[in-house]
Structure 1
Amino acid sequence: MTNSASGDCVDFDRDCERVFPSGVRLVDSLLQQMEKKDDIVYLEAEKSELKDKNLNLKMKLLKRIMNMLLGKVLEFELGRFHIDHLGVYTCTRHEMVHNHAMIPPEKRHLIRSQRDVNKEQLLFISTMKLSGVKVTATQIEECDSNQLIKYFAKRHVDEADFYYDFEQDDSGALVSFFWRDGRMMRDYHYFGDLLVFYTTYRTNKYGMICAPFVGMNHHGNNVMFGMCFILNERTEAFDWLFDTFLHSMGRKSPIAIMTDQAQAIAAGIRNIFPSTVHHRLCVWHLEQNSKKHIGALRALEGFTDLFGYLLKYCETPAEFEYFWKRMCDKYKCENDDWLCDLYKIKEMWCPAYSKKYWSGGILSSQRSETTNN
């Protein structure tokens, strides 16, 4: 392997072996050599072809070796980086391309963060109702619903432990359906102590809400316990869904269930699951909600760090109470309505109050969200 420095062609193989001995990791050897003084750095190369070169040329060659060898490793493993003599990495190239499909513009209003009904839309709906126009959710076409039920029925015949159920409205149209196979049932009985549940945006033909039941196995990987699609997020829909899920699992309840802060989901959990099931809130969604409710406080220096510590890292109730009081005193927020409501339900999100309920160290519903993707 050769490289050019100041017009001279130098053979680097022999010099690299002397400066960076075999059996020593390249990065470690580079950092160790750069920490030494110049006279020590080149002492190891005293017998090499670099001996008769001046110090400036030697430094140039060493830098070329480092950039050539280490740069090739980082190019494949980490992307484009520059490393200075202190071992500090600086990114020099960043691919500004998403590694997943983006939500189509016509679907963006269905994302949870965008599901707001303004006054004009409410007035329009009210006017339609007063005019006798029936306002209802979209229904699945009869042909598609028949094909779906036939598919479920065939799988139930072929697989004895396959389970499915569906819900119809007053007109007989299909509005919700749930299924799970034998592997999902077995995974739930082994790893069902923690249940992560999250409803995602509508990305299918009928704009239905995907609602998977997800958990974590003994390798820390996602496992699916069941899948459901529902047309709306009313309490009645979650009552049916949670009851169907428990029925499919022989009424075996989890120890803890993690969701976002949706009131309809919380009501469904209270209505269906036993009182012994601990309902936990996703701290990521709490952080997102804080941007809407206490945005002015978050703009203050140090508030987000202290608030994040309260959400994720308090180990004991005493520690939580100390830092909560410190936050209220420092930022004069003890009378903020949203923070007061959040404090009242601290057992649902603070790790210090949830240690007796196994959760596998999970603090958010991202496992379910990544399953949706």
Structure 2
Amino acid sequence: MLRFTKRDLYNYVHSQRIAQLNDGDAAAAISYLEGKVNADMMTVARYTKTTGDQLGSLFWADGQMMADYQLFGDVLAFDATYRSNKYKKPLVVFSGSNHHKQTAIFGFALLQDEEVRTYRWMLLNMLDVMESKKPSVVVTDGDKAMRAAIADVLPSARHRKAVYANFDVAEFEEYWRTAVKSLGLMENSWVKSTYELRQSWATAYLRGTFCTSYKTTSRCEGINAFVKGFLKSTNSLLELVQSLDRVVKDYRNNELTGLDKIELFAAKLYTRAVFKEVRKQIKGVGSLLFLGKDSISTTSVYKFSSVGNRSRVRKVLYDPSEPKIECDCMMWNSEGIPCCHIFCVMKYEGLGEIPPGLILRRWCKDAKEWTASSTCDSLGHTSRLLRYGALCSSMSVVAKLASDDAADFFLARDALTSLARRLQLRRGNTVAQDERVREQDVVRDPAVTRTKGAPKRGREMGSSTNAVPGGKRRCCTSCGLPSHTKRTCMSQRETSQAGYPEGTSATIGDPSSGEPSGNRSGRSCSEVCLMIWVIFDM
């Protein structure tokens, strides 16, 4: 029986949440982000405070986000989403497209409001953290404050809202004038303002601009919808930051590992069944958390933990001068394939192939191909095989010609026998000695093995031909004597005849002949009549 109620459980969870916020929600969130520096030295968090020392805006990004931005930050997309925390602060997700055309997250921002100065602070800090690399294309929605901030901070970037009207410039202008005139919207203010922004949404003016397949803000909206699956409108700031960490890990788990060269190398090296197992380990790199790297002389010690079990830390030793990478999970020692921790080290070290010390030949496609050993001369062995094949071809021709005629057969046989003797003398007659040894080596039938358990009674082990069965003899169940049964017992027959009329017999057949009573073949008519009379008289 449980000694607590459902309300007690809710109260306990609430007390644990409050215990994490001793110094306040904002202070706990900032402390959490600053604490991530221990695992990732590149993690950055920047924030502002209001006049009442309250949290204003907050921007943060980790080392992997910065690295992704340096590679794929030429096209930047961001949009604001709402109802993500109990303070109703807008959440901005910076994203782009990686080399697999998958979504890559570059950073997050919580805004104090949606004014131009707030967006300007956000973009300036984002550029400062990303080493002042400016995107060439920025994809956003049609927010005026956002457009003004982009024009101020990123004047050289092409602002793109969405793509409509797939025409050339002349066709677009003609189509626009015709549509506006036919609908009578020449003086409409919204139509005029939209036309003034045509260079940010019409394909006619955006053709030739590299945008990594970004045509609308639908990918941003998809990210926002995915993020809301991890968030609640009642989340504190600490819970918001922790939930966004799970969002990033989920995206990175879905992202391809980036070990394309190693995966291609493994596909060419291993058999299909083994490559499936190796590929699982390569995909497992996405679920690992990098905890740090230590150096001992020329050896690097990497530390990893998994998303599902952070308490278990795996250590990997890597020495560039050694052909092997060692991990304390011992998977390579037990299964002969590198583990995900070793593949993660290969990724950090920029290795394009699996080191030779980690390749077990028995799992390779060429495992059955003949390889010369250190004690065998490869050239001599190949020459021997060639000579053997040539002689076999010549002997097959001799056998075919000599088998057609008896005289040719005897001629070929005598010649081959003479040639074999000459070759035996040249080699010390070892072939003849081997044949004599085989003739003298007589193999007899094995003895019967004494198996476990007691032997069957009445049988002598090892002498099945002379064994005499000594089991129980069959006896009569009426008198107890052997050599007959109850059906042929004389004492039983005498007892049963006492109840029949005089001159009749209880047996139809001849008792002295030993014929059983059930045998009715060959009986006379008188015997049959007598049997019927006895039955009716009874």
- TM-score tier by shorter-chain length is 0.5 to 0.7
Residue identity matched to 2:166: Y
Following superposition, the deviation at residue 164 of structure 1 comes to 1.3
Q: Indicate the SS of the match to 1:199.
A: strand
1:338 equivalent to 2:213? Answer no
1:214 equivalent to 2:66? Answer no
Match of residue 280 from structure 1 = 160
Match of residue 372 from structure 1 = 224
The question of whether the paired residues in 2 share the 8 Å contact of 1:209 and 1:229 is answered with yes
Return the TM-score normalized by structure 1: 0.52
Over the aligned positions, Cα root-mean-square deviation in angstroms equals 1.8
The question of whether the paired residues in 2 share the 8 Å contact of 1:210 and 1:372 is answered with no
Which has the larger Rg?
A: 2
Following superposition, the deviation at residue 320 of structure 1 comes to 0.8
Return the TM-score normalized by structure 2: 0.37
Following superposition, the deviation at residue 203 of structure 1 comes to 2.6
Gaps of 5+ in 2: 1-20, 226-538
Match of residue 193 from structure 1 = 74
Match of residue 65 from structure 2 = 184
Match of residue 313 from structure 1 = 166
> Separation in 1 of the partners of 2:222 and 2:116?
24
1:257 equivalent to 2:162? Answer no
Residue identity matched to 1:221: Q
Residue identity matched to 1:317: V
Higher RCO (CA 8 Å, separation ≥ 6 residues): 1
Q: Indicate the SS of the match to 2:83.
A: coil
> Separation in 1 of the partners of 2:133 and 2:204?
27
The question of whether the paired residues in 2 share the 8 Å contact of 1:255 and 1:357 is answered with no
1:223 equivalent to 2:104? Answer yes
Q: Indicate the SS of the match to 2:80.
A: coil
Superposed CA offset, 1:225-274 (max 9, x none): 1111113111111111011111110010000101111111111112222x
Following superposition, the deviation at residue 325 of structure 1 comes to 1.9
Structure 1 residue aligned with 2:177, among 325, 328, 346? Answer: 325
Superposed CA offset, 1:164-191 (max 9, x none): 1111112211111111111111111111
Match of residue 245 from structure 1 = 126
> Separation in 2 of the partners of 1:200 and 1:356?
30
Superposed CA offset, 1:286-319 (max 9, x none): xxxxxxxxxxxxxxxxxxxxxxxxx2422x2112
Aligned-pair identity in percent equals 28
Report 1:27-38 matches (<5 A). Answer: none
Superposed CA offset, 1:46-83 (max 9, x none): xxxxxxxxxxxxxxxxxxxxxxxxxxxxxxxxxxxxxx
Q: Structure 2 vs 1, CA of residues 348 and 142 (structure 1 numbering), >3 Å: closer, same or farther?
A: farther
Following superposition, the deviation at residue 159 of structure 1 comes to 1.1
Gaps of 5+ in 1: 1-139, 284-310
Report 1:14-163 matches (<5 A). Answer: 143-163=24-44
Following superposition, the deviation at residue 357 of structure 1 comes to 2.5
Residue identity matched to 1:342: T
The question of whether the paired residues in 2 share the 8 Å contact of 1:260 and 1:365 is answered with yes
Residue identity matched to 1:237: T
1:268 equivalent to 2:149? Answer yes
Following superposition, the deviation at residue 142 of structure 1 comes to 5.6
1:204 equivalent to 2:85? Answer yes
Moved over 6 A (4+): none
Residue identity matched to 2:101: G
Superposed CA offset, 1:118-150 (max 9, x none): xxxxxxxxxxxxxxxxxxxxxx99611111111
The question of whether the paired residues in 1 share the 8 Å contact of 2:165 and 2:172 is answered with no
Residue identity matched to 2:98: N
> Separation in 1 of the partners of 2:199 and 2:22?
44
> Separation in 2 of the partners of 1:201 and 1:173?
20
Q: Indicate the SS of the match to 2:26.
A: helix
